């Protein structure tokens, strides 16, 4: 639980997770979508990987990241729903999270 809490304690890591719940991505894509440096995104991805929340899949010289377990996608979607229910000022991110079947 502590590792998950540490991962979710940072806004950029949360934004990365939201992006990855919609689809796998390369670090450069995440940097562009989130308006952050590639270096910063790579550091956060390393943390998320260390926490067991994302996995790196090597494709030749490129690495693609995705959520480590489908149950995590479901849990993140539920967590976002709770955040939006209790925080009317929360940025709407519902459109970025696929609802699991």
Give per-residue pLDDT as tens, 43-53.
999 999 999 99
Average of pLDDT values for 31-43?
Answer: 96
Distance CA 83, CA 89 (A): 10
Give per-residue pLDDT as tens, 11-31.
999 999 999 999 999 999 999
Position 100 pLDDT exceeds 50: no
Average of pLDDT values for 62-70?
Answer: 95
DSSP 8-state secondary structure symbol assigned to residue 24? -
């Amino acid at each position: 639980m502590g590792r998950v809490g540490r991962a979710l304690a940072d806004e950029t890591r949360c934004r990365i997770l939201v992006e990855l719940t919609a689809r796998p991505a390369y670090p450069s894509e995440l940097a562009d979508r989130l308006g952050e440096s590639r270096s910063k995104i790579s550091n956060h991805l390393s943390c998320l990987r260390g926490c067991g929340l994302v996995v790196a899949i090597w494709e030749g010289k490129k690495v693609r990241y995705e959520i480590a377990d489908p149950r995590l996608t479901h849990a993140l979607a539920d967590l976002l729903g709770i955040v939006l229910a209790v925080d009317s000022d929360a940025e709407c991110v519902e459109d970025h999270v696929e609802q699991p079947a």
